Amino acid sequence: MPPAQRPAPMHSSVPPPNGVGASSPPQANGQQPYAYSVIPPPAPLPSLPMVPLPHQTFAPPRTSPPQQQGASKLSLAIAVFSLVLTMGMAVLLFLPRKGQLRIELGSEGGTRIERAEIFVDGKKECDTAPCRIANVSPGPKTIRVIAQDFVIPDLVTEVVESGKERVVVIPLRPMQALPQGTTVLRVAGGGQPGLKVLIDGVDKGPPPLELKGIAPGVHRVRFDGGARFEPLEQSVDVTAGKARDVGPIKLKVVQGHVNVELFTGGARVLVLRKDSGRIQKVLNGPWPMSFDVEAQGLKLVASALGRPSFEQDLTFADGEPELSIRVELGAAQASAVGVPRPPSAPEPRKAPPPPTPAPAAAAEKDDEPEAPAPSGTGSLNINSIPPSKVLLDGRPLGGTPKTDVSVSAGTHTVTFVHPDYGKKSVSVEVRAGQTATASVRFKTN
């Protein structure tokens, strides 16, 4: 580098190391040597403290205090209850609601009629008017009215709406003398439901019926109640200018339906034939148990070790194909095998036997006639006010009234059961060849 471009020498007040002067010796060419200063070595850098590298730490999970946990569970329970309540309300909104039916009767001139038999869908609902029926399923309903001294009107069909009351007014026409040559055949209702009437093989529908214009003469009237009943056929003679009444009719049951409820654990329950004792059916549960049987010649028997047995004939009243039986055996007997006997008390000392009577006295005693045991059969009329279900010696007979029920001579117990007024029992003695009556009146107020 040329001298002119060299930077100015740097002077330092720091003495040169090892005694070296501040200036160099003169040069051979006579030029003034450069002044220089020795630059001291750089001071060491200050030591920095060691700082650890940052690293990620994981805090332990926070645990809610017990009070907060209880509040959370309560909130969850309230939420679940609200959801269930909302769903229940939604279901109720979509379910069909029941309706009500009110039937009123009137006649020409606006006179109201209060006594009449009113049937809805073939089932008798009322004996008086107005007839109010609650909890009626929505849909069309057929109404039939029978009133004394009034012409039976045609079937009336009305539609019951959900949650509403349907009011029906049915006018009745007074019955007048039949014109000459007119024939009427009436089939009364009040029998069994599901019955249909066929006149000369033509289905006329369920009773009650009033058939006009029937040709005078003998007609074949058939009553059919389905597979469970034995059909009934009658010959009815219809006379010109007169009305002929038939019924009410209840058909004989040929196939019954039995409901059995067992209240004694471990009991063996069988259905046997009464004539031979042959097992017809073994009932193994689960209880209560329902099954179909022949309506004649069978009985139900239940037995358990150490207990008195239970027996009941499977008989069905006319028009009533269903029978319910409650099986409950008595307490265990101490004399049964495997049942321990209770400790017996010491037998009391026997009294000496009475002296033997003289021969004359003994002969006199032998001459006394013994009371004969009742034998033969009689009849029993059974009725109650209001009508009720009746049991004869524990055997159900259906509803009252019952007439000319054949029973063995002797004392019998008749039990009347009403769903609203309770149960009453009476004992009646029936003599051979005679008719007795068993009747009760329930207290209705």
Q: 377-441, what's its fold?
A: Immunoglobulin-like (2.60.40)
3-state helix, strand, coil in the chain (%, to 5): 10, 40, 50
- Above pLDDT 90, what percent of the chain? 19
Does the model's pTM come out above 0.85?
A: no
DSSP state of 17: G
pLDDT digits 0-9 by tens, 373-382: 456 788 888 9
- Pick the residue with more confidence: 50 or 298? 298
pLDDT the model gives residue 339: 40
Q: Phi then psi for 279, rounded to 5 degrees?
A: -70, 125
Q: Does this chain's domain 184-251 share its CATH topology with 377-441?
A: yes
pLDDT the model gives residue 90: 63
Residue 430 parent element (H or E): strand 422-430
With cut-offs at 50, 70 and 90, classify the pLDDT of residue 71: low
pLDDT digits 0-9 by tens, 377-430: 888 889 888 888 888 888 888 888 888 888 888 888 899 888 888 888 888 888
Residue 14: pLDDT over 70 = no
- Pick the residue with more confidence: 150 or 359? 150
With cut-offs at 50, 70 and 90, classify the pLDDT of residue 163: confident
Q: Phi then psi for 343, rounded to 5 degrees?
A: -60, 130
CA–CA dist 333, 312 (Å, integer): 21
> The tokens of 151 are what?
């012409």
How much is the average pLDDT of 217-243?
89
Residue 215: pLDDT over 70 = yes
Residue 372: pLDDT over 70 = no
Q: Phi then psi for 154, rounded to 5 degrees?
A: -65, 165
pLDDT the model gives residue 333: 56
With cut-offs at 50, 70 and 90, classify the pLDDT of residue 98: confident
pLDDT the model gives residue 273: 92
pLDDT the model gives residue 66: 56
Helices (H), 288-358: none
Query: If you average pLDDT over each of 177-181, 228-232, 345-349, 365-369, which comes out highest?
Result: 228-232
pLDDT the model gives residue 68: 60
pLDDT digits 0-9 by tens, 31-68: 555 444 555 666 665 555 555 555 545 455 555 555 56
Residue type at position 105: L
8 Å CB contact between 378 and 369: no
Residue 300: pLDDT over 90 = yes
Architecture of domain 254-327: Sandwich (2.60)
How much is the average pLDDT of 74-87?
81
pLDDT the model gives residue 360: 43
Residue 24: pLDDT over 60 = no
CA–CA dist 355, 169 (Å, integer): 88
CA–CA dist 105, 190 (Å, integer): 19
Q: 184-251, what's its fold?
A: Immunoglobulin-like (2.60.40)
Please report, for residues 54, 71, 230, 305, the alpha-carbon distance to residue 65 in angstroms, rounded to integers and kept in the order given. 32, 10, 78, 62
Query: If you average pLDDT over each of 119-128, 271-280, 393-402, which comes out highest?
Result: 271-280
How much is the average pLDDT of 305-327?
90
Residue 3: pLDDT over 50 = no
Indicate the burial class of 361 (C-beta count within 10 angstroms; 0-12, 13-18, 19 or more). Answer: exposed
Residue 253: pLDDT over 60 = yes
pLDDT the model gives residue 42: 60
Beta strand ranges found along 53-201 (DSSP E) = 99-107, 115-120, 123-128, 131-136, 139-146, 156-160, 165-172, 184-187, 196-199
Domain boundaries, given as residue ranges, for the chain? 99-172, 184-251, 254-327, 377-441
With cut-offs at 50, 70 and 90, classify the pLDDT of residue 345: very low
Q: Does domain 99-172 have CATH number 2.60.40.1120?
A: yes
> The tokens of 97 are what?
């609601």
CA–CA dist 55, 53 (Å, integer): 6
pLDDT the model gives residue 344: 42
CA–CA dist 149, 173 (Å, integer): 9
CB atoms within 10 A of CB 298: 19
Residue 109: pLDDT over 80 = no
pLDDT the model gives residue 440: 87
